Amino acid sequence: MKIFLIRPGESFDDIYREFGSWSTRGLTPTGIKTAFDIANKLKIMDGKYGIILSSPVPRALQTAEIIASELGVKMEEEPYAKERNTYGLLAGVNEDSAAEEYPEMNAAYLAGRYIPGSERYQDCVERVRRLVERMEVSENKSVICVTHGHIMTIIIEEMLGMVRNSIKKGAILETEINNGKMELVHADGVSFSTDENVIKDVEKRKFKKD
């Protein structure tokens, strides 16, 4: 079966320079247009979609609703697809004012240390594995999952065995599961790397372990 992983487009937390993760901000007009563009690409890429599962974060839900409407496919919320909250209690706080309002947490974030309320890397890996299990619901039809950059990164690096270089907003990652193994089929807006410096930086994405 195939699983199509989607990253939403631009949201208002980007415009207001706020720490995102579980932000309650919705899509900007640009982000809405991106959702329609994603739907049009998906129409060409497969066509046999069984269900759309979406993170409950507003920017993801809006994206999923547009795709569901355009493709005529049922959509359900999926809590396991929620973004990893790397910002903890800083989520939703303006980046420029964080240093003044919450200096200790801001310093911890910049240093890659644990922030109260944030999700530890390995905990997120475990729920992503559970997410993939929950997506294996149909052998005959593909699943679309509207999720987020950190979740897609974990899938790329922990399950596909590749190194993520970048994931653009509106990216589509097409994967296939055969005999319990996930493999990459196609990537739109996702780039990978074999550069040693990039590979060394992978561990920095796994911060907040302690």
Q: How far apart are CA 172 and CA 38, in angstroms?
A: 8
Q: Which of 81-90, 106-115, 133-142 is modeled with the greatest confidence?
A: 81-90
| pLDDT confidence of residue 210 | 40
H or E stretch at 36: helix 29-45
| Gap between the terminal Cα atoms of the chain | 37
| pLDDT confidence of residue 199 | 65
H or E stretch at 114: none
Per domain, the residue ranges of the chain are 2-206
Q: Was domain 2-206 assigned CATH 3.40.50.1240?
A: yes
Q: In this predicted model, what pLDDT tens digit does every residue of 122-175 receive, in sequence order? A: 999 999 999 999 888 666 789 999 999 999 999 999 999 999 999 999 999 999
What are the structure tokens assigned to 161, written together?
Answer: 């065995």
Mean pLDDT (the chain) is: 90
Give the type of residue at 145: C
